[in-house]
Structure 1
């Protein structure tokens, strides 16, 4: 769970929700440097959260365990409901 706690790692998981992406595509998707993304990808790959494959000089990542996507989806639903209820109270 700690490996998913960083906001950038969550962005990466969300970006990988529907398909595998190259490191460069992830850099563009999450809006940070390749070095930063690569560090986080290594952590998540080492924890078996992500899987990777190499094609020539590109590395592609995908979510290695669908339970991770389920967890992120559930977390998103919970926090979106909290945001919605707080917005309604302030109106």
Structure 2
């Protein structure tokens, strides 16, 4: 993507704060992996634990951070806690990161 002019980077203060908060929350490798596992789905915590490959306690701590930063939302359904990405823009950002850092080789 070519940058046309310096106005590309002009953002309102609220938007800069929101972006910084999201990037900080996503900056931890385990939290980024959690977001990659969830993607566009709504998943139970135990499925996230299974796919990420660490303890339920560890995943829950990181899910709490992502929830506090308004990155994901969760709800209870019976005995399960279901998690999903709150804002579609986070998925757009993750897609851009995937294209940048994990390009598909042709």
* CA RMSD between the two structures: 1.4
**Counterpart position of 1:16:** 38
Aligned match of 2:80 = 58
Q: TM-score, structure 1 length as denominator?
A: 0.85
Structure with greater helix share of residues: 1
Gaps of 5+ in 1: 85-91
In 2, Cα distance between the equivalents of 1:37 and 1:14? Answer: 13
The whole-number CA distance in structure 1 between the counterparts of 2:44 and 2:30 is: 16
Pairing 1:5–2:41 present: no
Structure 1 Cα separation of the partners of residues 47 and 80 of structure 2: 11
* Unpaired stretches in structure 2, ≥5 consecutive residues: 1-22
> Cα offset for 1:56?
1.9
Asked if residue 42 in structure 1 is aligned to residue 64 in structure 2, the reply is yes
Report which structure shows greater RCO (CA 8 Å, sep ≥6). 1
Pair member with larger Rg: 2
- What CA distance in whole angstroms lies between the structure 2 residues aligned with 1:31 and 1:76? 21
